[in-house]
Structure 1
């Protein structure tokens, strides 16, 4: 049997910390995704047919004014020079200038972003509050093949609700509670009541999806050995369900909840327009109609960055909850 020796002064080959390698790989993936996002937002302005400056100033604007505006924005420079200038501006927090209002895009984003974040956050919390009790209850009622009819009704109903677009749910809520019953406002965000319909429009679909996952996880957890042991010890049902089964079922389900948050952020675009919500969603649609592409670029970057950061948080949470999966990927 031979023994491998290491010469004095030679570097040891101790394996790197898996957390370090995981962090480097995940950070590199984030940078690559950011580069693709930034490049796509830049090319968007140049691939769209027509002249954005002419579109923003209108067909009756003098040619001299259009040309002067193009020169001021650097649109007459070679495309690679424009790309480098675009990257440089982004690194300094300069998202450009609105072609319509002549305001800095960063100021427009700062003004509109809080309303969108508020809507998405309330919708996410509402979806969680609806989905967890509903999913847990159905998991308890339908475990071990019990309650076949209840399971079929729940599964069918949740699938149908989850497939309905958010804006259609919003239109239905506006018609029912705003027009027919005249109970709730259907536009703006000035009052607490004005938040109800937009939040429900965004939350109902994700709540249906999350509730199905919670039901499946709860039914599986109730068959685990530690739950059977708790039952054998004749612990109270409340302690078994809430103290042992619920934390494990919800931990796995909230991973999907993080991904749903990314969908909620982007889903605000259409819902905001249904309810005249003064956020990024209504602003991007208005900017597309007026061909104010610098604003569109800025909003696309914000939405994309938001989704990337949410995915990063979900990945890190998964690694913390199950380090073995992180190590296997390294």
Structure 2
């Protein structure tokens, strides 16, 4: 604090290792990170990673619900738009997805809260007491991601439906639903999976904002609070975990490529 004496500052610097050479500090930090230790939280006075893990479950619940909603709504809307190209459904979905991309998450959250919590009194405004508390935050986080998925799915599936192999299948009088599921959809799935992998970062940042709006007790709320308190170890732990989550998700997507599209498998022939 501003009233700290020089002796107190020196003692605190020794506790944090800030009195050592910079290179030594960095090497000690890297060693701690690799061993899973981010140091002690300045506020909670215990392991920073433990503080983050204690707040992780609500965020994972929110992200999982938002991802499920975004995937179902986005892929379904994109598929409908691709099948009905230049029709009314295509135009409507295009307009809605553009709106979903333009509306900030915090504004959408406040609007949903005003309508469904204050006016209609259907859902609670904040907290995490029951499944009802999850609906508005999850929809708010999912909105922009569903819009992105809808646009990518529409483009990818439209290209697949216009491809020569689909025209050949239609010429053989194969039912359209079979062409869609067995020929077009697997080829359109690769770019959609890529977007899903990249979406994890958007879910993390979106959750941070939305958790503040709805007072959701996850790492987003902890992140903002820790920044305000200058609790550097907790902030670093959250940032590193978010980066690790994106890397692991993209690795998982790479494995899914092989399952969805056999052409991506390596062959010795």
On whether the aligned pair clears a TM of 0.5, the verdict is: yes
- How many Å apart are 1:325 and its aligned residue? 11
Stretch of structure 1 that moved more, 73-82 or 196-205: 73-82
Query: Distance between the aligned counterparts of 1:322 and 1:86, measured in 2?
Result: 43
* Aligned counterpart in structure 1 of residue 176 of structure 2, from 220, 237, 244: 237
Is 1:154 paired with 2:93? yes
Correspondence 1:315-330 to 2 at 5 A? 315=254, 317-318=256-257, 321=261
Query: Which whole-Å CA distance do the structure 1 matches of 2:135 and 2:230 have between them?
Result: 32
Residue 269 (structure 1) aligned to one of 208, 219, 226 = 208
Question: Is the contact made by 1:135 and 1:213 (CA closer than 8 Å) also made in structure 2?
Answer: yes
Aligned to 2:120: 181
Q: CA RMSD in A?
A: 2.5
Matched positions, count: 266
**Map of 2:44 onto structure 1:** 101
Cα distance in 2 for partners of 1:94, 1:190 equals 31
| Matched residue, 1:294 | 233
1:115 maps onto 2:58 in alignment: yes
Rg: which structure is higher? 1
* Structure 1 residue 179, shift from structure 2 partner: 1.6
Cα shift at 1:311: 3.2
Separation (CA, whole Å) in 2 of partners of 1:322 and 1:280: 38
> 174-183 or 303-312, which moves further after superposition?
303-312
Question: Would you say 1:206 and 2:145 are equivalent positions?
Answer: yes
- The unaligned stretches of length 5 or more in structure 2 are none
Instruction: Give TM-score, length-normalised by structure 1.
Output: 0.73
Structure 2 Cα separation of the partners of residues 164 and 130 of structure 1 = 17
Q: TM-score, normalised by structure 2?
A: 0.88
**Correspondence for 2:252 among 308, 313, 327:** 313
List structure 1 runs of 4+ shifted beyond 4 angstroms. Answer: 60-63, 315-327
Secondary structure class of the residue paired with 2:55 = helix
Indicate yes or no: 2:116 matched with 1:172: no
* Higher alpha-carbon deviation: 318-327 or 234-243: 318-327
> Cα distance, 1:60 vs. partner?
4.2
Structure 1: stretches of 5+ with no match in the other structure: 1-57
Secondary structure of residue in 2 paired with 1:203? helix
